[in-house]
């Protein structure tokens, strides 16, 4: 790929997964702020730990503690063992570091080792369980969550709508499970869905049905619309509706 010229930002274009104009370079610092807040502060707060335990998802420091307990047993202990009651199990149950008392390992990597912490699993779990309300998102991701996470949050809500439309409840639950230890305990219908959100999702779903029919590029509705006037009802090319 050729290097971009100074001031030339090829990513600063309208993004198909968002409504309106979206600038990745403006967004990214706010997203980084959300990651830092979650990794360095929120995951050690009692309310965040309680909610994470309720919706059955481990926080980054708990994942690190679980991995460390499996990798490094104490002297004289078998692999996976722990002195005085199983630190790995406690971490998985949400009983790790006390609130406001982070472990000594570097926090930004989720426990050291240069590991990257993705926020996507947490957004997905909050959406699927109906806990993606503004107060919770602020508690998890800090003051910059609206600028840093709202685009990802909106897209995850749309993905959840698409999943419900395309699959059975059991298949949707399986898609939102995260392994045997972090299965989603329950699914809730999308919280506080607005009319505009549903309209945008319908448009996105129509685009996906067009993709299934290979109605892309020169075959797209926009290109062929003018050549379909002879069809019953005038108008453009009709996209099939989902069967069953």
pTM: 0.70
Q: Could you read off the pLDDT of 205-243 as tens digits, one per residue? A: 999 999 999 998 888 877 766 555 444 444 444 545 555
Q: What is the DSSP letter of 2?
A: P
As a whole number of angstroms, the distance between CA 94 and CA 46 comes to 10
- Three-state secondary structure string covering 39-83: HHCHHHCHHHHHHHHHCCCCCHHHHHHHHHHHHCCCCCCCCCCCC
Per-state percent for the chain, helix, strand, coil, to nearest 5 = 50, 0, 50
- In this structure, of 101-115, 150-164, 211-225, the range with the lowest mean pLDDT score is 101-115
Q: Is the pLDDT of residue 51 over 80?
A: yes
Confidence of residue 22 (pLDDT cuts 50, 70, 90): confident
Q: Could you read off the pLDDT of 52-81 as tens digits, one per residue? A: 999 999 999 998 887 666 665 555 555 544
Q: What is the DSSP letter of 16?
A: T
Determine how many CB atoms are found less than 10 A away from the CB of residue 114.
8
Nearest CA-CA partner of 18 in 159, 195, 155: 155
Confidence of residue 83 (pLDDT cuts 50, 70, 90): very low
Q: Is the pLDDT of residue 109 over 60?
A: no
Is 160 or 2 the better-scoring residue by pLDDT?
160
Q: Is the pLDDT of residue 157 over 50?
A: yes
As a whole number of angstroms, the distance between CA 164 and CA 172 comes to 6
């Amino acid at each position: 790929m050729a290097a971009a010229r100074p001031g030339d930002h090829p990513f600063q274009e309208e993004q198909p997964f968002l409504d309106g104009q979206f600038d990745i370079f403006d967004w990214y610092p706010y997203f980084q702020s959300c990651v830092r807040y979650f990794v360095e502060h929120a995951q050690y707060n009692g309310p965040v730990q309680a909610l994470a335990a309720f919706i059955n998802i481990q926080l980054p420091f708990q994942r690190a503690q679980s991995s460390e307990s499996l990798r490094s047993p104490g002297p004289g202990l078998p692999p996976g063992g722990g002195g005085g009651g199983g630190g790995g199990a406690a971490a998985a149950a949400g009983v790790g570091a006390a609130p406001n008392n982070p472990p000594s390992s570097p926090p930004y990597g989720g426990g050291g080792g240069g590991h990257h912490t993705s926020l996507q699993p947490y957004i997905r779990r909050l959406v699927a369980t109906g806990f993606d309300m503004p107060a919770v998102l602020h508690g998890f991701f800090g003051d910059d969550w609206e600028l840093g996470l709202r685009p990802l949050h909106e897209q995850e809500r749309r993905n959840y709508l698409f999943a419900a439309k395309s699959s059975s409840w059991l298949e949707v639950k399986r898609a939102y499970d995260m392994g045997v230890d972090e299965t989603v305990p329950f699914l809730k219908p999308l919280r506080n869905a607005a009319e505009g959100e549903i309209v945008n999702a319908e448009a996105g779903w129509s685009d996906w049905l067009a993709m299934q029919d290979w109605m892309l590029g020169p075959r797209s509705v926009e290109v062929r619309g003018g050549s379909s006037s002879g069809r019953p009802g005038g108008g453009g090319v009709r996209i099939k509706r989902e069967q069953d």
